[in-house]
Amino acid sequence: MNVTYRRELDHNYLILEQEEYQENYQTVMLLKNKIPGFLECRMSRLDRGASLYYEITSRQSLRLVLERKRINLWELQKLLSGMYQAVQSCEEYLLNVEHLLLSPDYIYLEPDEWTAYFCFFPFEKQEPGQSLPELAEYLLDRLDRQDSGAVTLGYEFYRIAGEENPSLRELLENWNQEEAQKPEAEKKTERTIIQYDDKGRTVVEKDCIREREPKRSFDAVSPEWTESPEGGTSFLGGAREPGLFLRSESAAYPDLRITKNSFLIGKKKDAVDGWLKARGISRIHSRISKEEDCYYLTDLNSTNGTYLNGGRLEVNEKARLRPGDCVAFADVRYVVEG
């Protein structure tokens, strides 16, 4: 399965290619319907092959969202509920659930609402006995250990994922019933109770209480973030360390020094290293990564683009950075000084 990304006007696409295309029922259903829980899809034919274009505009992969944050109870419930919706859609549209790609790279989220969308690829089967436990194990490693509800539900999901016929609906319903029966003093300050109709679709979400997340803390390896007086951008404070230095071209935005091997930039504060609270910046906008002694800039499906020396990078395109290069995240501009 060949994987690429492409930007067309204001839309970004994940593209999965099939070398030998033969039309089947599942492909027709995928292309002709807007299926709940699925990434919308269109197809392009070339010779004997076909490319499926999945709409990912303004969404981010689960792997990217969890690169810099831990998943809490509300987010885990939303993710599992979305997965259950996708499984129910397979049953409703007579599709084979083994064609759902359960890798974190192909599960896309609306990062603020945590609405999950799944990639259905009708040409390649996944082994549920392997892919579901792998996803459950991945989530276990990224649970917020301070959230006892997330830990309990995460381990329960891991348990049922290893069963012969795992039931997400039973897991979610049992969990919600247990939460509803708890004394008020024992209930979490952050929870979601989800109900379903007779087809398994989410019809009610209630008692969703979300508190402000605590301020991020950093150890001695990661310099402390400081907020500018204008409230526009967060920046690295304290003594400068070796790394890549980006000098701001505007007094409104501070300079940045990159000392990590992977440094995410965006406006979703709990999911990035460099928080830019500026108009036009996507929630997870770009990455600067270090490979051996070189630094690279990658656009991460941003809405308004990442630019290097005036040229806009393609989605997930990685370009090497050198001293003197001009970098722009939307219209926030920097110069690379090394």
Residue-wise pLDDT tens digits, 195-204: 445 544 444 4
The model's pLDDT over 90-135, given as tens digits with 9 standing for 90+, comes to 999 999 999 999 999 999 999 888 999 999 999 888 776 788 999 9
Mean pLDDT of the chain: 82
Architecture label for domain 225-336: Sandwich (2.60)
pLDDT for the residue 234: 41
Angle at 73 (CA atoms; ends 225, 198), nearest 5 degrees: 140
DSSP letters spanning 137-203: HHHHTTB-TT-HHHHHHHHHHHHHHTSSS--HHHHHHHHHHHHHHS-GGGS-SS--EEEE-TTS-EE
pLDDT for the residue 184: 59
Weakest mean pLDDT among 27-31, 222-226, 300-304, 325-329: 222-226
pLDDT for the residue 298: 96
β-pairing, 49-55 vs 41-46, is antiparallel
The model's pLDDT over 24-81, given as tens digits with 9 standing for 90+, comes to 899 999 999 999 999 999 999 888 889 999 999 989 999 999 998 999 999 999 999 9
Asked whether 29 and 95 are in contact (CB, 8 A), the reply is yes
The model's pLDDT over 135-166, given as tens digits with 9 standing for 90+, comes to 999 999 999 999 999 999 999 999 888 887 77
Asked whether 236 and 247 are in contact (CB, 8 A), the reply is no
Which residues are within 8 A (CB) of 229 and not within 5 positions of it... i.e. 6 or more apart?
none
Domain boundaries, the chain: 225-336
- Inter-CA distances, 213 with 72, 216, 254, Å: 11, 8, 25
